[in-house]
Amino acid sequence: MGKNIINNKDYWDKFYLDFNETLESDFARFCSDRISGLSDCVIVELGCGNGRDSKYFHSLNIPLFSFDLSEVAIDKLQKLGLKNATFIVCDFKDVNSLSVKLNDVTKNKIKVFYSRFTMHCVNENVENKLLTWLFENMTEDDYFFIESRTEFDELYGQGVAFDGGFITSHYRRFINQENFKNKVLNMGFKIEYEAFSKGLAIKGNEDPKLMRFVLRR
């Protein structure tokens, strides 16, 4: 049962059948502002969901290479027929399978890796695998933008404890911001920007304390 909970594919397929949020996230606007001076880049979305941020980046004429666990979400995005946009079904644990395709799509372009509310949906072993893949596929010109829930989240501790996280309707692993920071520094990443705050992703009555990083190699 644990594998199904961690992969969470059934949950996200059902979720994206009816999830119709179209407004881009604040994090997408934050990212676009910081890369506005780049002349030739590609957004590499690590978990694009229903494409609310994908469509925003596309509206700014930024090419996309986006993947997600949910076949439902990716099928909907593929049917849009967006130019200069690639949407692929891929689980984070299988991310190494994307390396060749990634290099083909992003050749001679600056890669802007982008993860919003996706890293806390996998266990730490998968996180480590993904970070290793990122480091191996980044150059000094590239960026990694990440926003994630932390242990100071209001939802922390709710549900059933499992594999470093908690299960409610689905699995969440609330990340310790300092541990994550030390981990990426030890791996060789450089921190260009960091924030640890509320007010970054307010939705209704929810205002979680999030971590944001912009990492370079």
Residues present in the chain in total: 217
The count of other CB atoms within 10 Å of the CB of residue 107 is 8
Question: Phi and psi for 43 in degrees, rounded to 5?
Answer: -80, 125
- Can you give the pLDDT at residue 22? 87
- Can you give the pLDDT at residue 215? 98
Give the residue numbers spanning the domain of 178: 2-216
CA nearest 123: which of 166, 78, 182?
166
- pTM value is 0.93
Residue 26's Cβ-count burial label (10 Å; 0-12, 13-18, 19+) is: middle
* Rounded Cα gap, residues 143 and 30, in angstroms: 13
Encode the chain (217 residues) as per-residue pLDDT tens digits: 444 444 578 888 998 998 888 899 999 999 999 999 998 999 999 999 999 999 999 999 999 999 999 999 999 999 999 999 999 999 999 999 999 999 999 999 999 999 999 999 899 999 999 999 999 999 999 999 999 999 999 888 999 898 988 888 888 899 999 999 999 999 999 999 999 999 999 988 999 999 999 999 9
- Can you give the pLDDT at residue 51? 97
- Can you give the pLDDT at residue 20? 86
- Can you give the pLDDT at residue 11? 87
CATH number for the domain including 137?
3.40.50.150
- Can you give the pLDDT at residue 99? 96
138 touches 113 (CB < 8 A): yes
Provide the domain count of the chain: 1
142 touches 112 (CB < 8 A): yes
- Can you give the pLDDT at residue 5? 44
104: three-class secondary structure by DSSP:
helix
- Can you give the pLDDT at residue 170? 86
- Can you give the pLDDT at residue 151? 94
The first and second tokens of residue 101, run together, are 């395709």
- Rounded to a whole number, what is the distance in angstroms from the first to the last CA of the chain? 37
